[in-house]
């Protein structure tokens, strides 16, 4: 049975062109980039070319790009060291953030280092900007940490609006852009963000490598100590072929972005229409049904109540479909989606997240909807 992969928000297949770019660094160019001899200099040059390419695509300076092991490390670095070194005493975030942000903020608060405020949300999960401004007005020395594109329900944050509010109130602004990096253009000369982060495996690059953008003038100390790598910002020998692969993947993503946006929006639209036709009372969580206005790679679907909500994803897997998600938590002990729980979604309705890439096809969408129709009909 040929499996269908619709979990691209979790990770994406590696682009063959990216692998080709990485192979020389894996096979022949094996020197340590911190070494001053010829073997090391060749590898150091590859890293700096990659940094320059990423900076060029994001319209910023190479001196503001720092490579990490991924988005989680970058988020941890920004939040923790903004508190420890930038005088931040207050963090504003939301209950819908990735746990890399939420758990870090919670840990800092438990240690008595910072106060954390959760901005109010509407019924679809959008930020209440009036409440955000009120929190900023009443709390100096604030870091705002709000993601650009939600990985579960596809809501998009107005980065420009939040950036202007941060500037107006003298706050720092960090945005986890892991889900939107490589899918939208980020002009960092224009955006009023102090920190953003990315992870290569979300845009057809390798796992285990990411980056953080630190705006000039807002430098923070390293989170990982041990060496002078990344201009004293991140100790440890660099993941060289990962870094080179990241830059190549981002370059491909930017060159193909308009075409892929149109293509993937077409897949998402097709799935929405087919589901509405096939399954009575199907619903869509957050803003994910809004193809033009939401993160176009993600669709979060809520199905009619079933005997056991956990069986939906299990049955999809049995049928050869890889998706993710889950229902809202019905009690404090349940393990479910913290995002759907925050939106007060009905815990009796099973939900699934389907996320698309350039490698998916219309035929796959139709096949998945057919399988879902059978599965939902069997368990209702």
Selected catalytic residue, list 329, 338, 346, 367: 329
3-state class of 182 per DSSP? coil
Query: Which helix (H) or strand (E) element contains residue 302?
Result: strand 298-302
The span from the CA of 283 to the CA of 253, in Å, is 31
Assigned token pair, 284:
């869509």
- Given a contact cutoff of 8 angstroms between Cβ atoms, the answer to whether 212 and 60 are in contact is no
329 noted as active-site residue: yes
The span from the CA of 177 to the CA of 148, in Å, is 5
Which residue bears the tokens 């036709």?
Answer: 277
- Given a contact cutoff of 8 angstroms between Cβ atoms, the answer to whether 304 and 281 are in contact is yes
The span from the CA of 183 to the CA of 325, in Å, is 21
Torsion of Cα atoms, 304 then 309 then 311 then 315, to 10° = 40
Strand ranges across the sheet with 172-176: 65-68, 210-214, 195-199, 172-176, 142-145, 90-93, 115-118
Q: Which residues contact 192 (CB under 8 A, 6 or more apart)?
A: 160, 163, 164, 166, 167, 173
- Catalytic residue IDs: 329
């Amino acid at each position: 049975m040929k499996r269908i992969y619709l979990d691209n928000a979790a990770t994406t297949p590696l682009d063959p062109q990216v692998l080709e770019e990485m192979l020389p660094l894996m096979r022949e160019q094996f020197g340590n980039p911190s070494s001053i001899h010829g073997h090391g200099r060749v590898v150091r040059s590859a890293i700096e070319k990659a940094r320059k390419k990423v900076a060029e695509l994001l319209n910023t300076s190479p001196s503001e790009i720092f490579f990490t092991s991924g988005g989680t490390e970058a988020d941890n670095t920004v939040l923790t060291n903004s508190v420890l070194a930038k005088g931040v005493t207050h963090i504003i975030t939301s209950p819908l953030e990735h746990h890399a942000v939420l758990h870090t903020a919670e840990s800092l608060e438990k240690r008595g280092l910072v106060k954390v405020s959760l901005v109010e949300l509407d019924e679809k999960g959008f930020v209440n900007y009036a409440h955000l401004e009120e929190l900023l007005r009443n709390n100096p020395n604030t870091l705002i940490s709000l993601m650009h594109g939600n990985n579960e329900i596809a809501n998009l944050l107005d980065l420009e609006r939040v950036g202007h509010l941060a500037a107006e109130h003298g706050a720092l602004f960090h945005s986890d852009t892991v889900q939107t990096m490589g899918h939208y253009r980020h002009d960092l000369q224009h955006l009023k963000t102090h920190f953003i982060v990315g992870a290569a495996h979300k845009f057809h690059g390798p796992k285990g490598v990411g980056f953080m953008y630190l705006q000039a003038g807002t430098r923070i100390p390293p989170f990982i100590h041990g060496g002078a790598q990344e201009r004293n910002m991140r100790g440890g020998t660099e993941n060289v072929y990962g870094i080179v692969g990241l830059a190549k993947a981002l370059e491909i993503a930017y060159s193909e972005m308009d075409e892929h946006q149109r293509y993937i929006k077409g897949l998402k639209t097709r799935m929405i229409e087919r589901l509405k036709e096939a399954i009575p009372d199907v619903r869509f969580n957050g803003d994910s049904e809004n193809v033009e206005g939401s993160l176009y790679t993600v669709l979060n679907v809520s199905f009619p109540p079933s005997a056991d909500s956990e069986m939906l994803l299990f049955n999809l897997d049995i049928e050869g479909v890889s998706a993710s998600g889950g229902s809202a938590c019905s009690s404090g002990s349940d393990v479910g989606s913290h995002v759907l729980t925050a939106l007060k979604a009905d815990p009796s309705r099973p939900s699934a997240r389907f996320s698309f890439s350039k490698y998916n096809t219309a035929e796959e969408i139709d096949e998945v909807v057919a399988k879902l129709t059978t599965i939902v009909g069997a368990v209702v």
